[in-house]
Amino acid sequence: MSGLVVVGVDGSASSLTAVAVAAREARLHGAGLRVVHACGGPVPWAGPPPQDGRRAWADRVVAEAVDRARAEAPGVETRHVVVAAEPVTVLEAQSRAALLVVIGSRGRGGLAGLLVGSTAVHLAAHGSCPVLVVRGPPRPGGPVVLGVDGSAAGQRAVDFAFAEAALREVPLVAVHTVGGAPGPVSPGAAAPHPDPAAPAGRERRLLSEALVGRRERYGDVPVRHEVVRGGPRETLIEASRSAQLVVVGARGRGGFTGLLLGSVSQAVLHHAHCPVAVVRGEHRVRGEGGRGGGW
d(CA 13, CA 104): 9
Distance (Å, whole) CA 250 – CA 124: 7
- What is the per-residue pLDDT across 154-177, written as a single tens digit (0 to 9) for each? 889 999 999 999 999 999 999 988
Select the more confidently predicted residue: 287 or 73: 73
CB 7 within 8 A of CB 72: no
* CA–centroid distance for 22 within its chain: 11
How is residue 95 annotated by DSSP? G
Residue type, 191: A
Residue 271 reports pLDDT greater than 70: yes
pTM: 0.81
Distances (CA, A) of 108 to 27, 58, 286: 27, 13, 30
pLDDT of res. 23: 97
pLDDT for res 179: 66
Q: Is the pLDDT of residue 113 over 70?
A: no
* C-alpha span between 232 and 228 (Å, rounded): 9
Cβ-contact 94, 127 below 8 angstroms: no
Q: Note the Cα 176 to chain centre separation in Å.
A: 18
